[in-house]
Structure formats: structure tokens, C-alpha cells
Amino acid sequence: MQKLFDQLAAQDSLKNLYQTLFVERLTPHFIALNHIHPFREGNGRAQMLFWRKIARDT
């Protein structure tokens, strides 16, 4: 997970990107985090909140 968050930080948390580029760069992070998330139930809800915060902060 640390590698994933380091990569996200290296991309400045996807800030200041046009919507299409934001989605393009978010997708691999979303897939990776969904894969390594420790809980079978709640992945979607937890990620929705996390990525919503990332999108709102851009």
C-alpha cells in the first residue's frame, strides 16, 4: 500500500488535471487499491469516500 500512496504523492495526488486525465491516472490506483484492500465487503464504499476526497481536493 505504501508504494501505491507514494506513487499517488509523486503525481501530486492527481491535482490540477483535466477531468479526462484525472480519470485516466486515477484508474490504475483505483484498481490496485481495490485489489489489496483487506476487506471483501466495503471496498467500494471505502474507496468512494477516499477518491471523492482526492477529487474534491484537486
pLDDT of residue 47: 81
For the chain, domain boundaries: 1-15+39-58
Threshold 0.85, pTM exceeds: no
**Distance between CA atoms of residues 42 and 30, nearest Å:** 14
pLDDT of residue 36: 80
- Other C-beta atoms closer than 10 Å to the C-beta of 47 total 15
Largest CA distance in the chain: 32
pLDDT, tens digit (0-9, with 9 covering 90-100), for 1-52: 889 889 989 999 899 999 999 999 999 988 888 888 767 676 778 888 888 8
Q: How confident is the model at residue 57 (pLDDT cuts 50, 70, 90)?
A: confident
